[in-house]
Structure 1
Amino acid sequence: MAGTGRLFAVDWGDKRIGLAISDELGMLASPVGILTRRAGKRPPLAELMRQAEELGATGYIFGLPLDPAGAETDRTREVREIAAKLAGRQALPIRLVDERFTTSSALRSIREQGGSTRGRKGDVDAMAACVLLESVLRAGAQGVELGELVENVAGDAGDGA
């Protein structure tokens, strides 16, 4: 997946979804904002797909929220379900990549740049997606593909969301 165009990273959260995009060469990652989730509403898959298309994405990288020991959680299962629904609705490849410590890295990065994180949760979420994407790009530059590919299971066209 690395070196095949622009990758669109997604940091899925309860309230916000952080987003980042790579350059065409797969060398640089940039935060591109957030999507806001509304409690009790369907996941914003259509908006996610619209933004990926608008940015010229050739694949998705979803952060997989494992617990500190690397075990699956309820959030991990939710992200797997969302990625599977997305795979059923469009043709771009989707990879799930361990996102442990991306938020703490994003917070550290913002502070190192002399910024405050107070009142900037959206910036932190977008930066966490950027940190995730940077790790994928670094690994790809060394010939390593991180994570696992989400298979588009025939007959699972999602729930129409």
Structure 2
Amino acid sequence: MFAATSTRSWRSTRCSGSGPLKGTRAPPRAILLPMGVLAIDPGTRKCGFAYTDRARILTSALEPFRHEADEGRLFRHIESLLAERDVRLFLVGLPLDPGGATTEQSELVSGFVARLGERFAGFEIRTYNEHGTTKEAESRLRDLGHDGRGIRLRKDSWAALVLLEDWLAAGEPA
């Protein structure tokens, strides 16, 4: 119901060396970055999620999760998402102002990122400026024919999807 997917094109390269992959074609990022990514659009009561596979070919908006400010409940939900997907990296939306400066909300997200890192110690965590992702998500949902309620239900995960797509398009900066 909430799944939204897009595909990304890539130029294939020939694998060199010996072995069963010699001469086969593979997406370069699948070789360089063998980890799926879970994007998180954090909120005080609800979080949006999106995922990309290891090859960075398919991105999907996942169902948003209402945690009602219960971080333990949110972390248990994240654990359930990880059980279903091959993820080694979290991409967390950092709300910066239009000039790129931190805001009160970005300080809250930084605290969340620190606690996420404590809970999921073996995972890499990156933050990325999420400015404008919610407006873009709402616009896409309107273009798909969703009304006010449909937009409200889906916009957090679609914002995570926009965040993930922007990060991928920027070359996956650290």
The TM-score range, normalised by the shorter chain, is 0.7 to 0.9
Conserved? CA contact 2:36–2:51, under 8 Å? yes
CA-to-aligned-CA distance 1:97-138 (integer Å, 9 cap, x gap): 000000011011112223324343231111000000111222
How many residues matched? Answer: 142
Residues 29-108 of structure 1: pairs in structure 2 closer than 5 A: 29-39=59-69, 41-42=70-71, 44-90=74-120, 91-108=122-139
Three-state SS of the structure 1 residue aligned to 2:100 is coil
Residues 1-161 of structure 1: pairs in structure 2 closer than 5 A: 3-39=33-69, 41-42=70-71, 44-90=74-120, 91-140=122-171, 145-146=172-173, 148=174
Deviation of the 1:3 alpha carbon: 3.6
Query: Percent identity of the aligned residues?
Result: 31
When normalised by structure 1's length, the TM-score is 0.78
Three-state SS of the structure 1 residue aligned to 2:135 is helix
Equivalent-residue separation in structure 2 for 1:137 and 1:61 (angstroms): 11
Provide the aligned C-alpha RMSD in A.
2.0
Equivalent-residue separation in structure 1 for 2:105 and 2:80 (angstroms): 24
Conserved? CA contact 1:107–1:117, under 8 Å? no
| Unpaired runs of at least 5, structure 1 | 149-161
Deviation of the 1:31 alpha carbon: 0.5
Equivalent-residue separation in structure 1 for 2:149 and 2:65 (angstroms): 19
Larger RCO (alpha carbons 8 Å, 6+ apart): 1
Equivalent-residue separation in structure 1 for 2:158 and 2:132 (angstroms): 12
| Unpaired runs of at least 5, structure 2 | 1-28
Q: Which amino acid aligns with 1:70?
A: G
Hey, what does 2:6 align to over in structure 1?
A: none
